[in-house]
Amino acid sequence: MKAWAIRTVIAFVFNAITLWVAAILPGVRLGDGFLWVALLFTAASLLLRGAASAVLRRLDAQEPGAQVPDGGLPGRSKVARKVLFGAAGLALSFGVLWLTTLFAGGFAISGTIGWVLATVVVWLASVIFDAVDDGLENKAQQLLGGAGPGGRPHT
């Protein structure tokens, strides 16, 4: 199975769990059409995060000839980079939630507390997902008989 398909299925399952957990928060309602909501949430997440990653990679790239001790964002400290990436992650989480509520009838968030808590939960889930998705993808590749870590076929 292609790596992008495995990554998409893993993201879908992870996002479905995230939405289910977020539904217990005050102001968050998950109704009919759970699979449709999870599909839209996953599509919005993959598209927005992919676009944002491209932009942040460009910002993080070193300028030609610049010597940056921590490996990126010339002129910015490591702490400033982490704050920038964290803020971008929170903004993306809010955007994904907003798009999902806009297009999925079975998902609604009301009130400031609902939006803040849902955004933080989705952002924390994305941090966890980023930490485990490569390992999950490699394990899925091995189980499906594809290439394992390092691109070697699993025997």
Tens of pLDDT along 120-155?
999 999 888 888 877 777 777 777 776 555 544 444
Structure tokens, 106: 């079975």
CA distance 93 to 116: 10
pLDDT value at residue 85: 80
> Tell me: the pLDDT tens digits for 36-63?
999 999 999 888 888 877 777 777 664 4
Q: What is the pTM (predicted TM-score) of this model?
A: 0.74
Per-domain boundaries in the chain = 3-64+75-151
Helix (H, G, I), strand (E, B) or coil at 53: helix
Cβ-contact 27, 111 below 8 angstroms: yes
